[in-house]
Structure 1
């Protein structure tokens, strides 16, 4: 048996942390002396503690680790599944950090050349275009910000299955319409839609009309800057919003290996101030 101090030294975990792990049921002392309360750990528990440390290094939360250790399934199978999932999560974070580093390098270069850190806004192209009426097959619901990625896959999956059942043909790439100006406690009023060629039961007409259009190459993190640029353009030129702004996903995010390969079209329906809506 090992005292808590010896166990602590071998595993490089403080005694305070070991006591906390015992409180939450992550790893319990093998024996506690009833007379003095001294805690002892078995040699066999060293491997379990080292596994906990390893999973912490892999960015697993204590709750996730406890769930793995308490699982009734075979440990190797549980670990294999959990590690693969965590690897994907970390890969996404790494990609975001790489994108951030690239953006920082770009900002530093601009500032060295005497430009403002916000000078990238000058390169956002805004064009005034006329978009014809389209038939939309859609799902509209309130979506919380952290749920968007999951809902994107779920809702478009349902829409594509419905298209297949009804033998409908896509007329353009998938799009998302935003019917609210801001998030509420219930989420953002969001419509996941696919433009289709045929008029059919369950579709609706959408008449964007005059729109400000910007094509975005790369990360979705650029979109807030695009919205800001479009609103500035509209105000300067005497236009105001007339319908739900929407994004068209020219490339499927699930089918690209890098964010730089993403292509998104952002549309901001407008009308001249004082004019009546045509919709």
Structure 2
């Protein structure tokens, strides 16, 4: 048996952390001296702590690790395999996002070196005046925080596609979101997730056609803020006004597009002359 200090030294985990792991039931000492409360760990527990350390290095939370430790009980690695694949995708997405940011910073540095204003990219965002046709959409409207949006995107669109399959509805366009909140509040955003379909059934409604200011973003979603600002500036400059909530149409699936710069999103501002 090893004292908590010896165990800590070999595995390079502080005794404070080991005590916390014990409190939350992650890894408990094999024995505790009833008289002095000293904790002792067995050699066989090295493997478990090394496994915990490995998962921590993969950015798993302690709650996730605790759940995954259960796979050892029934000798089934299916749960671990699925969790590792999910975390691998998350890390790859983060890497792609960081690479996109690095490329963007490199472009900004290059622009400054050439004497080009860093915000001059706004001049290259094109705005078109288009006439749209009415659309019948299958929709669900939700109120959520900005942090919940990424999860909601997949969750609510999946439900809409499931309903489409169940009711055998005909797809007529790509997924879209409509933003109904009058102002930005990260704690409460009113969003409508929608898919254009042909059939008129319960859960569908029509979006009127009409005049729209339109812009297309080829890049990561955080860049949409610049597109919205450019569209709003254009609408004001051309003496139009908004008549309905803006909406986005996703021409590419974020779950199928590995590189953020390859994503294509159309943004529409329904407008009329002042």
TM over 0.5: yes
- 1:131 and 2:124 correspond: no
Contact 1:208 1:243 in 2 (8 A): no
Structure 1: distance between partners of 2:111 and 2:117: 7
1:78-97 → structure 2 map (5 Å cutoff): 78-97=79-98
Contact 1:172 1:194 in 2 (8 A): yes
1:233-253 CA distance string (max 9 Å, x none): 122222221101011111222
Structure 1: distance between partners of 2:231 and 2:111: 23
Q: What residue number does 1:270 align with? A: 271
Give how far 1:201 is off. 3.6
For the structure 1 residues 225 and 78, does the alpha-carbon distance in structure 2 shift closer, same or farther, using more than 3 Å as the test? same
Structure 2: distance between partners of 1:11 and 1:164: 52
- 1:220 and 2:221 correspond: yes
Give how far 1:12 is off. 0.9
- Count of equivalent residues: 272
Give how far 1:44 is off. 0.9
Structure 2 SS opposite 1:266: strand
Q: What residue number does 1:110 align with? A: 111
Structure 2 SS opposite 1:243: coil
Structure 2 SS opposite 1:16: helix
Structure 2: distance between partners of 1:109 and 1:192: 39
Give how far 1:217 is off. 0.9
For the structure 1 residues 83 and 255, does the alpha-carbon distance in structure 2 shift closer, same or farther, using more than 3 Å as the test? closer
TM-score by length of structure 1 reads 0.87
Structure 1 SS opposite 2:35: coil
1:127-206 → structure 2 map (5 Å cutoff): 127-164=128-165, 168-183=169-184, 187-197=188-198, 200-202=200-202, 203-206=204-207
Structure 2: distance between partners of 1:26 and 1:171: 50
Structure 2: distance between partners of 1:2 and 1:253: 50
Structure 2 SS opposite 1:191: strand
Q: What residue number does 1:2 align with? A: 2
Structure 2: distance between partners of 1:251 and 1:97: 20
- 1:57 and 2:54 correspond: no
Q: What residue number does 1:45 align with? A: 45
Contact 1:8 1:15 in 2 (8 A): yes
Structure 1: distance between partners of 2:5 and 2:168: 70
Unaligned stretches of 5+ residues in structure 1: 274-279
Structure 1: distance between partners of 2:213 and 2:107: 27
Unaligned stretches of 5+ residues in structure 2: none
Structure 2 SS opposite 1:253: coil
Give how far 1:212 is off. 0.9
Give how far 1:165 is off. 5.4
For the structure 1 residues 62 and 167, does the alpha-carbon distance in structure 2 shift closer, same or farther, using more than 3 Å as the test? closer
Q: Tell me how large the CA RMSD over aligned residues is.
A: 2.3
TM-score by length of structure 2 reads 0.89
